[in-house]
């Protein structure tokens, strides 16, 4: 993997709602009307105006992405994407890759320079973190090599264990 691409990727452990970046990505559900996990945390931190704007979007298909303002969040935008519910079929990987791809394309369109992703589908939706990590990083690296405007992509993980999965995979890519 090219060094310049890998240098744009950063791994952090913590709460995505606290990040001062241009955009944070929300692991939403198809209604875009809020939920538990990271979705609930983002809505709580952004305040009720986020839900008001989400209501005007009218939902989002799995693998798709939609953008709103960040309201009370330190981030300017929230990009809402809908990950697949893990089923074990090959379609899961395709849909998860689409989440990263469509989120990054939307970010580029809005001039986002710094963006943070949670581990989409790895909570209630049950995607194994080792597999999801590879899809997240590989798709992001591919997109970053095609777009100039995005300067930093942060993968922020809630647990140290998940963070280590990402760090190990990046180390592996860096030595290839």
Q: Using CB under 6 A as the criterion, which residues of the chain lie in contact with ligand ADP when the complex forms?
A: 15-17, 27, 37-39, 41, 83, 118-125, 156, 158
Whichever of 103 and 121 has its CB closer to ligand ADP, that residue is 121
Contacts of 52 (CB under 8 A, 6+ apart): none
Phi, then psi, of 56 in degrees rounded to 5: -75, -15
Token pair, residue 27, equals 């692991």
Whichever of 17 and 140 has its CB closer to ligand ADP, that residue is 17
Question: To the nearest whole angstrom, how small is the minimum distance from the Cβ of residue 60 to ligand ADP?
Answer: 13
Whichever of 80 and 112 has its CB closer to ligand ADP, that residue is 80
Question: To the nearest whole angstrom, how small is the minimum distance from the Cβ of residue 176 to ligand ADP?
Answer: 26
Question: To the nearest whole angstrom, how small is the minimum distance from the Cβ of residue 4 to ligand ADP?
Answer: 27
Whichever of 68 and 121 has its CB closer to ligand ADP, that residue is 121
Burial 82-96 (b: 16+ CB within 10 A, else e): bbbebeeeeebbebb
Contact 170, 137 (CB under 8 A): yes
């Amino acid at each position: 993997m090219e060094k310049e691409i890998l240098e744009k990727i950063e791994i952090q452990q913590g709460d995505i709602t606290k990040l001062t970046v241009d955009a944070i990505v929300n692991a939403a559900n198809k209604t875009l009307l809020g939920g538990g996990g990271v979705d609930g945390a983002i809505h709580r931190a952004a305040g009720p105006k986020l839900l008001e704007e989400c209501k005007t979007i009218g939902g989002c298909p799995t693998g798709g992405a939609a953008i709103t303002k960040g309201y009370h969040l330190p981030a300017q935008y929230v990009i809402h994407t809908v990950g697949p519910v893990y089923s074990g079929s090959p379609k899961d990987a395709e849909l998860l890759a689409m989440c990263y791809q469509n989120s990054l394309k939307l970010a580029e369109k809005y001039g986002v320079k710094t963006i943070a992703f949670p581990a989409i589908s790895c909570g209630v939706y049950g995607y194994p973190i080792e597999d999801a990590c590879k899809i997240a990083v590989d798709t992001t690296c591919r997109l970053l090599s095609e777009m100039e405007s995005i300067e930093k992509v942060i993968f922020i993980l809630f647990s140290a264990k998940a963070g280590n999965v990402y760090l190990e995979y990046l180390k592996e890519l860096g030595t290839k």
